């Protein structure tokens, strides 16, 4: 709520960096939490984090549980 920029690191090791500018009026008061623009920004950030988490989870699962070749 206080930052003017939010940096989202993607991947491990970090390969990309997404910078999200927060263009909300100052000073920022607690009622900002109900502001539609603030809510949309939070949703956008959650989607970015969920996407990255899903990608990493899939990569870890592939390494830990590689597909076994089937014999015919």
pLDDT in tens, 15-66: 777 888 999 989 999 998 999 999 999 998 888 888 766 666 655 555 555 5
Is residue 39 in a domain? yes
Is residue 37 in a domain? yes
Is residue 50 in a domain? yes
Would you state the pLDDT for residue 60?
Answer: 55
Is residue 72 in a domain? no
Is residue 41 in a domain? yes
Is residue 70 in a domain? no
Domains contained in the chain, number: 1
Would you state the pLDDT for residue 4?
Answer: 92
Would you state the pLDDT for residue 19?
Answer: 86
Would you state the pLDDT for residue 57?
Answer: 63
Write down how long the chain is. Answer: 72
Is residue 71 in a domain? no
Domain of 52?
Answer: 5-64
pTM of the model: 0.63
């Amino acid at each position: 709520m206080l930052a003017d920029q939010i940096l989202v690191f993607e991947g491990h090791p970090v390969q990309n960096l997404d910078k999200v500018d927060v263009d909300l009026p100052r000073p920022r008061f607690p009622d900002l939490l109900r502001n539609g623009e603030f809510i949309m920004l939070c949703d956008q950030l959650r989607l970015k984090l969920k996407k990255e988490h899903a990608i990493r989870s899939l990569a870890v699962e592939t390494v830990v549980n590689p597909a076994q070749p089937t014999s015919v």
